[in-house]
Chains A and B, each alone.
Chain A
Amino acid sequence: MLLKDEVGMLQRIPLFSGVEPAKLKLLAFTSDRVSYGPGQILFKQGDEGDAAYVILSGTADILVDSESGQIKVAEAEPNSIVGEIAILCDVSRTATVRASGPLEVLRIRKDHFLRLLREFPEITIEILRALADRLSHTTAELIDARSGRD
């Protein structure tokens, strides 16, 4: 997969969809393309987060620790991003991500990503918009859930 294909992938991710392609290209260029074998772990729950991962091909299991051991809560598919919260704020990983088969990802390092935001405020604004969007959705869902419970 070439740099320009990676840019296409990034565009399809809601968090980045508003950012201009030229800047996404710079983001892709400064990120690493990494491959994982089946069962290899991208990051562990509780670790300090230093990068976000965009799945380019293959799938990954998202696992959460519980009293009865790890349980799979979701599956990450191509065109999705995992661990993105970690590159926006200092929180430890809330889940473990493990490759379920051969997996190709684009690793966006936190420091690179933050530098990009610092350099190009227009990207920051777009990301902010996407986050606010997500927040309003979550809020709406929360209200729904609460009214459902009541």
Chain B
Amino acid sequence: MEPSLARYIWSHTKRQQLWIVVIVVLSMIPYFLSFDLPKLIVNGPIQGGGFEAPGATQPFMEFSPDLPFIGEIHIFSGFELTREGMLVALSLVFLLLVIINGLFKFYINTYKGRLGERMLRRIRFELVDRVLRFPPQYFKRVKSAEVASLVKDEVEPLGGFIGDAFVQPALLGGQALTAMLFIMVQNFWLGMMAFAIVSVQIVLIPQMRKRLLRLGRERQITARALSGRVGEIVDGIGTVHVHDTSNYERADIAARLGRIFKIRYDLYQWKFLVKFLNNLLAQVTPFLFYLIGGYLVLRGRLDVGQLVAVITAYKDLPGPLKELIDWDQARQDVQVKYAQVVEQFSAENLIEPEIQTVRYEPVGALSGPLAAVNLSLADDGGATLVERVSFEIHPGETVAIVSTTAGGAEAVAEAIARLNRPEGGKVTAGGVDLLELPEAVTGRRMAYASSDVFLFHGSLRDNLLYGLKHAPLRPATYEGGEAELRRWNIEEARKAGNPDFDLGSDWIDYGAIGASGPQDLFAVVRNVLNAVVLSQDILDLGLRSPIEPKRHKALIDRVLELRNALRARLEEEGLSELVVPFEPGAYNKEATIGENLLFGVAAGPALADKALAANPYFLSILRRTGLGRTLYEMGLEIAEQALELFADLPPNHPFFQQLAFMTPEEIPAYETLLQKLTNKPFEAVSPADRAMIVALSFAYIEPRHRFGLLSEDLMERIVEARNLFHQGLPRELRGQIERYDPMTYITAASVMDNILFGRIGHNHPDGPERIRAIVTEILETLDLHDEVLDVGLDFNVGAGGRRLTGGQRQKVDVARALLKRADFIVLNRPLAALDQRAQGQILRNVLEEARRGGHSPAVIWVLSNPAMAAMFDRVIVFSAGRLVEDGTHETLLAGNGIFKELLS
């Protein structure tokens, strides 16, 4: 990156900077004129210059420039105006100039703002682009949060400054110069005076400010030291007492405070001294103007209008000067920041941009062998992992790599995936060094999965298809306003040096996986998911998620069929008690009190969770039925029980998942609340506190929590309140709730809840598991299995895929690698989170799935269990960083080598 900020800015924005400077210069003309005008107004119409005779007129807008060599030419003789008329006309011109000046300012400010923002966009993009091109080793040294904050925060002030970088000094300097020049023109000596004082200001103030900066830094350092010292005293208080050194500590603290006081006092003094001087210098000039200028007027060497104009012009001088000084400070600050960013983002061995060029056309298969030639690898510390290893793997071969602990097999796999750059030797594909192949080739014709999986925040589908998004293959078509916006986006992206790839295009490379488009993609994906045994997991996720109504219309249309099928099946198996259905006129004991009251699912925030207890309409129902008090008392009881049960558990304890009433963070709040409310009559409790307590009762399920708080009578009253609630539901709340209706699909609820349309009984052994098995079967018979699987693919995996289990993440990674239909599939102990049996099953499936549709990729699998090597054509054995054995499973087994040892 360009080490000098000024040069960086200049090289990318010189045309714009020059343009804006031209505009600034142009803007100086009306600016200058607006100084001259007061003189004309005062001397002309006000003082009556040129209007000595009554009824005299003067020409307005006369234009007869006096050109050199040619002399005066008469172009326009102007309008003849009286004294009053002239006053009005000149004042209007003044107003016009004010507006023109304002417009210039407006244009300049927006222009440089846009310039700055564009440059900020460019810098940020450039930084992230470099991140994408850093060699893999670089990432082992940097913290991701630091890089992110550099891109986000540190460069932010740069954007603001870049717009100002050249314009600000030009504009402010120009303004100051214009004002100066104007004064000079009026009277040379007055001008020299102003100039002298301004020079003092410009030299002195920044010097004085330097001391302010130094003091500020000192203040920060001493304050930090103080807080460290106080912390030390607190931690070492025992030692202080033991040695009777409390007074020594007092002395130390007092001394430090004294030092801080001195610095701060200095700071104030200096700060206000600078201010005082600045003001003084600014005010001394008018004083001199009045005095000397006045004297000159008295002597008739200067007219009053000129003096007024000089004073007005001078008013505009200190402002720009101060800003100029500020600009200089910002420049220094930004330069330091920029230097830091450049330093952080400078790395050797950046990946060449050509390696990553976007490629739209398909890449031909890698037909040559993959070979390691004298390959040596080291870890970050420089310790050798693999030494001078050579082997060759032919297309279509399946190879198991087995190694002793620290044998080096994993490092070799990483080197093949280009995640670890060789210390010596190379890895080649068809004779070409892998590092010289474009990523378009390695990323498409080779696949890699390891146990160290990274999933991006997004849906499961996005993550599975991530490995197919190499280029915007199917451009999206835009019309009308969208097309306009797209054009604008392209233009802006180019101006800021960003690529104009459209994120809205379809990036998925359907052809590579043998699909013709989105319509038959799913069939391919499903095979792969089956191979890695992920279908059931995804089905479960689908069952637990709400659907996208437009996409999964089949589920909405056939929900009754599903519900009936489930009922019939349960009946058949004598399990009809397993699910307690929602019935409009009955209390459902297995559901929460909240659900029973609402008898529906909150579709918006107004009735969701704890907001329900504060909703005015809902409260009015509680009041009318007298339930408010009952539920409040119940809430108190629950609070007491819950606090007793959970108060001394650490906040991240898994038991909190069982506590449906409150989150660990809420516990302290409820503790205080409970203390406050004990023995306080219901009527005296504030509505907010009441809502907090009542909300606790909503999560209560008698068979689950067993506090003994639900009586038959209460259940009846709740059903009554439910009916009242739905009868009078105000219009604005209608969109906030989807009522439980046996005949319709509830879009706000999960697929499972929709099929069950009830709650699973809590006291049935393995209730949820049995229901799940039955529902899976029903989905299969009704041919809705794939539909729910598709819902499951919408599941958001969370940051880094954390909402999936470790095993699921690894399966997704293998599926992703399989899906690419690459020529070389490298699997580096990809399923470490699974048990041996599951690993073996998936391994078999994957070897088979890789060959689907006539493909015959080479599969290179680093095994964690050598016993599985029997399924491969060839076995390579590493020990202590060396390749020790290489051959078919049978030959290795026959020999008495390390492989046999590993097996036993």
Contacts and interface: CB of A to CB of B under 8 A. Distances in A.
B644 A22 contact: yes
Interface string A1-39: 111101000000000000000100110111011111000
B708 A2 contact: yes
Nearest to B654: A115
Interface residues of B, number: 19
B794 to A, nearest CB: 30
A26 B655 CA distance: 9
Given A22-B644, A26-B645, A35 B705 contact: no
B658 interface: yes
Which bracket fits the contact residues of A?
A: 20 to 34
A64 interface: no
B765 A34 contact: yes
Contacts of A6: 706
A42 B655 contact: no
Nearest to B702: A2
Contacts of B703: 33
A92 interface: no
Contact of A33 (B649, B653, B654, B762): B762
Contacts of B708: 2-4
Contact of A42 (B658, B706, B765): B765
A22 B644 CA distance: 7
B707 interface: yes
Contact of B765 (A1, A25, A29, A107): A107
A104 B706 CA distance: 14
B762 A32 contact: yes
A119 interface: yes
Contacts of A26: 645-646, 655
A112 interface: yes
B706 A3 contact: yes
A40 interface: yes
Among B650, B655, B703, find the residue whose CB has the most chain A CB atoms closer than 10 A.
B655
B706 A30 contact: no
A3 B707 contact: yes
Nearest to B765: A34
Contacts of A104: 763
A36 B655 CA distance: 26
A101 B132 CA distance: 67
B655 A112 contact: yes
Interface in B602-644: 641, 644
Contact of A35 (B645, B650, B707, B764): B764
B705 A119 contact: no
Contact of A3 (B649, B653, B655, B705): B705
Contacts of B706: 1-3, 6, 28, 33
Nearest to A53: B765
Interface string B847-868: 0000000000000000000000
A35 B763 contact: yes
A35 B765 CA distance: 7
Contact of B653 (A4, A32, A115): A115
A107 B650 CA distance: 24
Contact of B658 (A29, A35, A107): A29
Contacts of A115: 653-655
Contacts of B764: 34-35
Nearest to B642: A29
Q: Give the residue among B705, B764, B765 with the most A Cβ atoms within 10 A.
A: B765
A33 B763 CA distance: 5
Contacts of B765: 34-36, 40, 42, 107
Nearest to B761: A35
A110 B765 CA distance: 15
Given A1-B706, A35-B764, A30 B644 contact: no
B658 A30 contact: yes
Contacts of A112: 655
Contacts of B763: 32-35, 104
A41 B139 CA distance: 55
Given A1-B706, A33-B763, A36-B765, A119 B644 contact: no
A41 to B, nearest CB: 9
A104 B641 CA distance: 23
Nearest to B653: A119
Contacts of A28: 706
Contacts of B655: 26, 30, 112, 115
A119 B649 CA distance: 8
Nearest to A41: B765
B179 to A, nearest CB: 76
Interface string B704-716: 0111100000000
Contacts of A119: 649-650, 653
A116 B230 CA distance: 39
Interface string B636-679: 00000100111001100111001000000000000000000000
B640 to A, nearest CB: 12
B639 to A, nearest CB: 15
A21 to B, nearest CB: 10
Given A26-B655, A112-B655, A2 B644 contact: no
Nearest to A40: B765
Contacts of B645: 22, 25-26, 29
Interface string B763-785: 11100000000000000000000
Interface in B453-506: none
Interface in A33-90: 33-36, 40, 42
A74 B650 CA distance: 41
A112 B654 CA distance: 9
A57 B91 CA distance: 102
A66 B548 CA distance: 56
Interface in A117-134: 119
A40 B765 CA distance: 10
Interface string B276-298: 00000000000000000000000
Nearest to B649: A119
A42 B766 CA distance: 10
A2 B706 CA distance: 5
A2 B705 CA distance: 9
Contacts of A25: 644-645
Contacts of A29: 645, 658, 705
A25 B649 CA distance: 13
A31 B655 CA distance: 11
17 contacts: A2-B706, A2-B707, A3-B705, A3-B706, A25-B644, A28-B706, A29-B645, A29-B705, A33-B703, A34-B764, A35-B764, A35-B765, A36-B765, A40-B765, A107-B765, A112-B655, A119-B650
Per CB-CB distance, the 8 closest pairs between chain A and chain B, nearest first, are A2-B708, A3-B706, A35-B763, A34-B765, A26-B645, A33-B763, A2-B706, A34-B763
Given A4-B708, A29-B658, A115-B654, 5 more contacts: A1-B706, A25-B644, A35-B765, A36-B765, A40-B765
